Structure formats: structure tokens, C-alpha cells
Amino acid sequence: MIIDTHIHNVKAFKWNNLYRGCLIPKPESFNDVDIENLNNLVKQEISGRDEITCFASVNPENGVPEVDRAVRELGFKGLALDTEANFKFSHDAIWRLFEEIHELDVPVFIHSEPDRINFDLDEVNEAIISFPDVNFIFAHLGIRKGEDFIRIVPETNAFFETSNISGDFITETLENITCDRLVFGSNAEKEYPLEEIQKINSLPISEDDKHKILFSNMADILDLKLPEDNPKEKFGSFVSRFITKFQ
């Protein structure tokens, strides 16, 4: 049973094998009109696919009206802030956005390319500490250029997504934080990258902890109702069937 926190292409996502995927749009521009069109397109794209959860794109300089529209009218379940927009966590507009997110009660996904975040960590910490009820999820463990966010942001509302990070580095990370802070993502664009799942299954941690990373941490963040059967019992066989099917 797997929730994928980070997909870019719904075609890569197979309903029978993955429980849910979070679609993170990748804006090509951040002006208000383009962003509104992108969110509308995403809404069309997932029509009839209840297994996909959408995160809303915004123009970080004026994000409140669009995230409000996307969540209340389009039914999106989170905010995706893209680091390509070069926003700062200290900007008034970003704080207004987080205040709105607090009202809407949805998580924030900080989307970046691996190793390309260049935030001021004090500003990140201040936002995370100031909005303790907002769950922040950092793509690719929030790795900055050669640095590790996780040592600096131990708050329980900060989560770290695992795609494009080596198993060894994740194992090292787990010396500093618990499995409760990690959520699985694949960063799937075309073909589904099964190695991302295998990587989590190969970590030297308990089956319960793998289940937290692959499923239950994100299920809690999204406030999903769990399937009626016991996911822990079925977890091992689900994963092995998934892997067999795609091999």
C-alpha cells in the first residue's frame, strides 16, 4: 500500500498498484493567468481519477486568491510552492499564503529540483515554527547545495520526501530524525521509477517504519481514511505484487 507524494504525470500512475498519488504541477511561468490556466488544466487531467490528489500551483507573490479558488472550487488538497519562482520564506506575500493555508487546512509541498534549493534556513525555520499546524513537505529531503535541511528543521510539522536521494543517505538521515518525518515520493514523469519503491524497501529499518514512509505518514497528512482491511498485514504482499507486476 503506497501513497506517492510527488508525481508529475498521471499516466505514470497505475491505480491498481498505488493507493494514491499527489500531482505536483510544474509551472512554466508564474503569472496569475498562466497559473490559473495550469490549475484548470490539471483539474481536467485528473477528471475521473479519484486516486490522484492535486496540489495547487500559485504565483508566490499573489498566491492567496488562487490557492483559495483551487482548494474551495477545484477540490485541490494542498499547495505546491515551486522554488523556480525564487520566492523567499520571509516575504509578506508568503506569510499571507501560509495564513490562508492554515485556514484551508491543507499541506504545503515545497517543490524543487534535487540540490537546487537555496533558501535561508533561518527564514524557513521561522515559518515552520510560526505555523505549527501547517504541514510542510520538502521534496528530495529538502537538500540544499551540499547541506541537509533536516538537521536544522526538527519540527514535527516538517516532512521530507525521498525521491532522487540515495538509500545510504536516507539511512544516514534516519540517525537524526525518525521515520515519522519521511514521506515516499517518486518524482514520476514518464515511466514509473520502481527503483524508488525498492530503495525504501531495502532500507535497514522495520516493516512498520517502511509502512510509515510509504503510506501512513502521508495518509495522516492528507487525512485519508484508511482502507477497511489492515494495511500492515497486507503491506508486504502489496509491494511484492507491485514489483512483480512491473518487472
What kind and span of H or E run contains 198?
helix 194-201
- Report, in Å, the least distance between residue 7 CB and Zn ion: 8
- Report, in Å, the least distance between residue 164 CB and Zn ion: 8
Indicate the angle between helix axes 32-45 and 64-72, nearest 10 degrees.
20
Cell numbers 508525481 label which residue?
7
- Report, in Å, the least distance between residue 236 CB and Zn ion: 28
Residues contacting residue 193 through CB under 8 Å, at least 6 positions apart:
163, 186, 187
Handedness of CA 68, 73, 77, 78 (dihedral sign): negative
Tell me the window of 62-70, 182-190, 204-212, 232-240 that interacts with Zn ion (CB under 5 A).
182-190
Return the DSSP state at 87.
-
Identity of the residue, 82 or 100, whose beta carbon is nearer to Zn ion in the bound complex:
82
Widest CA span of the chain, in angstroms?
49
Identity of the residue, 54 or 125, whose beta carbon is nearer to Zn ion in the bound complex:
54
Tell me the window of 99-107, 121-129, 170-178, 187-195 that interacts with Zn ion (CB under 5 A).
187-195
- Report, in Å, the least distance between residue 237 CB and Zn ion: 29
Is residue 187 a contact residue for Zn ion (CB under 5 A)? yes
Tell me the window of 39-47, 62-70, 186-194, 202-210 that interacts with Zn ion (CB under 5 A).
186-194
- Report, in Å, the least distance between residue 139 CB and Zn ion: 6
Identity of the residue, 25 or 63, whose beta carbon is nearer to Zn ion in the bound complex:
25
- First-to-last alpha carbon distance for the chain, in angstroms, is 18
Identity of the residue, 137 or 158, whose beta carbon is nearer to Zn ion in the bound complex:
137
- Report, in Å, the least distance between residue 54 CB and Zn ion: 14
Q: Tell me the residue nearest to Zn ion as measured from the CB.
A: 187
Return the DSSP state at 117.
B
**Radius of gyration of the chain, Cα coordinates, nearest whole angstrom:** 17
* Torsion angle (degrees, nearest 10) of CA 221, 158, 21, 18: -80
Q: Which residues form the interface with Zn ion (CB under 5 A)?
A: 187
